[in-house]
Structures are given as structure tokens and as C-alpha cells.
């Protein structure tokens, strides 16, 4: 639950740039063909593509958030329950790259930090995408976890991997 003292990882535009460039290209092409052939109905297709893309961003992409307060770290993602791990229940932080089946399903970020909890189930794992969130914010969250849990073993190059994009 958010409230006073809650800090959020801020988003980056990186994951959406490629999609936007493709849609802009299609829009330019449709506009060129519509003008050349006097088929102005083609512009409805461009409008539909943009409407679908914006709907996708609003309904799915912008639902992915990671935040923390003095007690816990929480991840919200569309299509699933909020996952929250109290600082005293964190058992590890590691860097991962998606396996082939995860990459194809796009169920989890490709490059991510994973914060794990005591139990070994999906509700005890928080994925922090290296593409969706700002590197400095991720550094800050990892520093907070390190401060609250100095007993945990962090990978030696954890902070460097955040900055290498």
C-alpha cells in the first residue's frame, strides 16, 4: 500500500521507443499512399494502430510499478496480484537474464534484478526490469536493501550491471 514515505522507481521510455518508431513509419507510409492514391480512408488504419498502441500502454505497460516504503518492496504488474516482500524476509538479490521460454512468453523482463523472499513461490519474487526503470533509481533501491539487510550477499558487480545497458 502506498502512503507517506513511499518511493517509486521512475520509468524510462526505452522499452517503447522501437514500437513507436515502427508505428511512426507505418503512419508516414499510410499518409504517403493515401495522398498519392487519394485513398484518405487509409488514414483510419493509422488512427486505429495508434489507438491500439495507446490502449496497450495504458492498460498493460503503465501498470508495471515497483515501489518501497520503510517496511517492504512491492511490485505491481498487470494481470497479476501485487507482490510484496518485507525487508526482513528478503533472502537474496540477483541479476538474471530471461531464459528462452520466458523471452518468448514475455512474462518477465529480459534483463532484471530479482528480489526473493523466504518462500520459494511466485509471490515471493519481485522482478526489477533494467529497461523499464531508471538506473539511478534501481541503484537507490538496491542501496536501501543493502542498508536494511547487510547480511545478504550481493553480487560484486550488481551496481555496474544496472548502468551497463
Q: pLDDT per position in the chain (165 positions), as tens?
A: 566 789 999 999 888 999 999 999 999 999 999 999 888 888 999 999 999 999 989 888 889 999 999 999 999 988 778 899 999 999 989 888 877 766 555 667 778 898 998 876 666 789 899 989 999 999 999 999 999 999 988 766 544 454 444
Cβ(130)–Cβ(105) below 8 Å: no
Measured over the CA atoms of residue 149, residue 154, residue 157 and residue 161, the dihedral's sign is: negative
Measured over the CA atoms of residue 46, residue 25, residue 106 and residue 85, the dihedral's sign is: negative
107 CB-near residues (< 8 Å, 6+ apart): none
Q: Which listed CATH number (2.40.10.340, 2.30.29.30, 1.10.10.10, 2.70.150.10) goes with 65-163?
A: 2.30.29.30
| pTM as predicted | 0.80
The residues pairing with 95 across neighbouring beta strands, listed in sequence order, are 113
Cβ atoms < 10 Å from Cβ of 9 = 22
Domain boundaries along the sequence of the chain = 14-59, 65-163
Amino acid at each position: 500500500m502506498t502512503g507517506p514515505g513511499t518511493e517509486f522507481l521512475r520509468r524510462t521510455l526505452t522499452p517503447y521507443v522501437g514500437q513507436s518508431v515502427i508505428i511512426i513509419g507505418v503512419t508516414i507510409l499510410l499518409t504517403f499512399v493515401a495522398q498519392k492514391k487519394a485513398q484518405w480512408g487509409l488514414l483510419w488504419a493509422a488512427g486505429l494502430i495508434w489507438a491500439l498502441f495507446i490502449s496497450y500502454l495504458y492498460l498493460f505497460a503503465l501498470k508495471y510499478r515497483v515501489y518501497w516504503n520503510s517496511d517492504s518492496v512491492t511490485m505491481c504488474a498487470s494481470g497479476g496480484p501485487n507482490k510484496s516482500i518485507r525487508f526482513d524476509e528478503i533472502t537474496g538479490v540477483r541479476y538474471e537474464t530471461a531464459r528462452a521460454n520466458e523471452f518468448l512468453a514475455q512474462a518477465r523482463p529480459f534483463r532484471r534484478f530479482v528480489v526473493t523472499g523466504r518462500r520459494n513461490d511466485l509471490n515471493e519474487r519481485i522482478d526489477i526490469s533494467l529497461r523499464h526503470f531508471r538506473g539511478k533509481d534501481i541503484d537507490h533501491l538496491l542501496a536501501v536493501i543493502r542498508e536494511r539487510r547487510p547480511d545478504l550477499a550481493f553480487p560484486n558487480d550488481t551496481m555496474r550491471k544496472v548502468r551497463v545497458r
